Structure 1
Amino acid sequence: MTKKIRKITLIAGARPNFMKIAPIIHAIHDAQSKGSDIAYRLVHTGQHYDKIMSGSFFEQLEIPEPHVNLEAGGGTQAEQTANIMLRFEKELLANPCDLVLVVGDVNSTMACSITAKKMNIRVAHVEAGIRSGDISMPEEINRMLTDAITDLFFTTSELANDNLRQSGIPDHRIHFVGNVMIDTLLKQRPNFKAPAVWKDLNLSKKNYMVLTLHRPANVDQMSQLKEMLDQIVESTENLPLVFPVHPRTAKMLEGLICDPRLHMIEPLSYLEFNYLVERAKAVITDSGGITEEASIMNVPCLTLRDNTERPETITLGTNILVGTNPENIKPYLDKLFAGHWKTGQDIPLWDGKTAPRIIDAILKSS
């Protein structure tokens, strides 16, 4: 007989992971208030150092700071993965649990899943079954390996369900619950706040665009990055471009002369960044998560990638896959400025109630 799940270890390795973990913590607290015998321990692997993640970050998300930070960041992919596994094994020995819950597709997701399974602890994967079809992406490898050993699969779409079924996962282990990131978005939307750049640049609604770039295909070669930025600047009429710069991209931008309309700023907090996205004319990005948020807020989104693991943002949302060829950018921006962009539709179960479904399924699986 399967042991009842009483204690869950929640894993986060990077700032976006906490946006997915926060509503799950809220759902656990709610279950506790109704008499459920369930507890959790929040583990930050320290995969990414983020100076924005101060005490106020956790206050904004209305969650406690992590019980522990494994401080396993830095190094190569292999070194980082090994460090996470070594330190998480010690964490589990010191603080046993019945279930390890991982989210997303970062190195911590895969490393902690493997560690848990080696110790005969069940694993739940939130955002299971997502696939881009691009095995060159580290995230794709993390997704595939995590799903190969997961016990409880929590999915965002019917397509993710199908991906899991095709890999041999039986239906009773697949739980279509929706998108937990949208729980946080809808809960925090009333709390969005203007960053300093809003006043500094005298921005107004629909009169600027937001840009983010960090994927290797776009930023690892200076010539590619420059050509892409040139095309964006040339094709966005006279609108200001607000560009919160990822540390990976900042290194490549050093010494690169950019147009005065391109405003490169420090990374923003979650509430500040989404304040800008909600009011932007459009978002140009190579991030997966931003395409989800833009779609829910009905903001046009141009994704500078050749593939996506979130096709529902294209079929039902406001996202269009532009590709990584800079020459593709102008035709799509011309379409935007001509007023011909599509309107987002409701995406099934992206309704802000995903986390309670997850906790309900966990309690019922005990």
Structure 2
Amino acid sequence: MRELAVVVGTRPEIIKMAPVIRAAQGRFDLHLIHTGQHYDEEMSGAFFESLDLPTPDDNLEIGSGSQAEQTASGLVGVESMLVERDPAAVLALGDTNAVVSTALAASKLPTKFGHVEAGLRSFDRTMPEEVNRVVADHVADFSFAPTDQAVQHLDDEGISAGVYETGNTIVDACRDHAPMAEERSTVLTDLDIAGRDYVAATIHRASNTDDPDRLRAIMDALDTASAPVVLPAHPRTTSVLDDIGYEPSGSLRLVDPLDYLDFLKLLDNARVAVTDSGGIQEEASILEVPCLTVRPNTERPETVSAGVNQLVEPEDLGDRLETLLTDDAERAAMTGHPNLYGDGTAGEHIVDVLDAQV
């Protein structure tokens, strides 16, 4: 049986690659490589068990470090695994350092590289993620694009061979995992909150956390909301808040990072989502939860065009959030469009292409 290697390194990658892993089982000899880019068990390792996924065959244990350190360690580790195993193809998803490491390693070996979630663009090269996804796309043998707009971005850059519009695996993941979360998670009871009566928030991108004034303004907006705001705090966010001595005293509740199924249930039952995460913009649209994204740009423009996601700056966040919490008509206008990213068969489509081509 042909071998397919799958590289994951962060929580979103594990979640989004889960449908591909499930679709590949029985059709390929699957070899799962975990780079360990998220070194906290709450952020990564426990997800394999909670999502009923196979245990990784290799864990590179890269952990934290600078962009260069993570990329270099990933490049060495992934190359070693690919040389040893010589799989027919290797897949990586998204825009992390694990993706660019895999792309560069495979580009100089016989192994074919498939980039899942190809063609996304924020057109902001100050974002490390933008550089990673551009590099990955330009060396990929298979570009699995989630939308027609992503396909167009690739074509604009001269990439047309090996491009397949598949839909986004996040749709598959949400449809697979939301019932699991509803059944298994007790997060609303544990946090003593009621469905549709709170805000689910995440803030972790360096563009927000590395600017103490910007981060404080975001936290102040969340802390003065008229409904409880639950923010599972990324270690990066917690560290900066500790450094600046920020302690919420109002509506904001900082909690430890949640298990994926707990967070999915938290998001699914929220009144509004506030985030700077690309994946949560997608998930909120699928789950029909209005989303405010605290960024000047997004590589998920479909959500903005559909009216279910709005880009806001910290100084505008409080007013806009309050409008969505108190104005039913405004909130209803930002609710809907669960099929922006496909019909929930992206994982099968990706594996079908590989089955026919490698």
| TM-score of the two chains, using structure 1 as the length reference | 0.91
Could you tell me which residue of structure 2 aligns to residue 26 of structure 1? 22
1:207 aligns with 2:197: yes
The answer to whether 1:331 aligns with 2:323 is no
**Equivalence map 1:307-346=2 (5 Å):** 307-316=297-306, 318-322=308-312, 324-331=313-320, 333-339=322-328, 340-341=330-331, 342=333, 343-346=335-338
Given that 1:210 and 1:243 are in contact with CA atoms closer than 8 Å, whether structure 2 keeps it comes out as: yes
| Contact 2:302 2:340 (8 Å CA) reproduced | no
- TM-score normalized by the length of structure 2: 0.93
**Alignment of structure 1 residues 236-247 onto 2, 5 Å:** 236-237=225-226, 239-247=227-235
Q: CA deviation at 1:351?
A: 2.0
Q: 1:184 to 1:317 in 2, by over 3 A?
A: farther
CA contact (8 A) 2:223 2:250 kept: no
Q: 1:331 to 1:80 in 2, by over 3 A?
A: closer
Q: Secondary structure at the match of 1:133?
A: coil
Report the CA distance shift for 1:316/1:329 in structure 2 as closer, same or farther (over 3 A). Answer: same
Residue in 2 that maps onto 1:272: 262
- Secondary structure of residue in 2 paired with 1:256: coil
In the aligned structure 1, how far is the partner of 2:185 from the partner of 2:255? Answer: 11
Structure 2: any 5+ residue segments left out of the alignment? none
Displacement after TM superposition at 1:200 (Å)? 4.5
Checking the alignment, whether the CA contact within 8 Å between 1:20 and 1:180 is kept in structure 2 is yes
Partner amino acid, structure 2, of 1:251: S
Map 1:74-93; keep pairs closer than 5 Å: 74-93=64-83
Deviation at 1:162, TM superposition (A): 0.2
CA contact (8 A) 1:316 1:347 kept: no
Give the letter aligned to residue 237 of structure 2. T
1:149 pairs with one of 136, 139, 153: 139
- 1:328, 1:153 → 2: CA distance? 36
CA contact (8 A) 2:197 2:271 kept: yes
Are residue 192 (structure 1) and residue 181 (structure 2) matched?
yes
Name the CA distance, whole Å, in 2 between partners of 1:132 and 1:329. 24
Whether the aligned pair in 1 keeps the contact of 2:303 and 2:340 (CA below 8 Å) is no
Tell me what 2:165 maps to.
176
Distance 1:53 1:132, change over 3 A: closer
- 1:117 partnered with 2:100: no
Query: Per-residue CA shift, 1:25-54, capped at 9, x if unaligned?
Result: 11112xx3xxx5x32210011122121268
Give secondary structure in 1 for the equivalent of 2:336: coil
Pick the aligned partner of 1:226 from 193, 216, 220. Answer: 216
RMSD (Å) for aligned C-alpha atoms:
1.9
Alignment of 1:63-74 (within 5 A): 63-74=53-64
Could you tell me how far apart the structure 2 residues matched to 1:213 and 1:294 are?
Answer: 15
In the alignment, which residue of structure 2 is the partner of 1:14?
A: 10
The 10-residue stretch of structure 1 (120-129 or 336-345) with the greater mean CA deviation from structure 2: 336-345
CA distance in 2, matches of 1:163, 1:54: 31
CA-CA distance at 1:252 after TM superposition:
1.4
CA change 1:54–1:213 in 2 (3 A) is closer
Bigger mean CA deviation after superposition, 329-338 or 267-276:
329-338
Classify 1:136/1:349 alpha carbon distance in 2 versus 1 (closer, same or farther; 3 Å). closer
Aligned-residue offset at 1:68: 0.4
How do 1:51-66 and structure 2 match up within 5 A?
51-52=41-42, 57-66=47-56
Instruction: Give me the identity figure in percent.
Output: 38
Measured in 2, the distance between the counterparts of 1:216 and 1:59 equals 29
> How far off its partner does 1:222 sit?
2.2
State the Cα distance separating 1:202 from its structure 2 match: 2.5
Give the partner amino acid of 1:358.
Answer: I
Q: Distance in 2 between matches of 1:271 and 1:197?
A: 9
State the Cα distance separating 1:317 from its structure 2 match: 5.9
Q: How many residues align?
A: 352
Q: Distance in 2 between matches of 1:19 and 1:263?
A: 25
Q: Does 1:253 align with 2:249?
A: no
- Do the aligned partners of 1:317 and 1:347 also contact (CA within 8 Å) in 2? no
Picking from 346, 351, 355, the partner of 2:347 is 355
- Give a deviation string over 1:178-229, Cα, whole Å, max 9, x none: 0112211101111115766522442111111111101122222222212222
By how many angstroms is 1:348 displaced?
A: 4.9
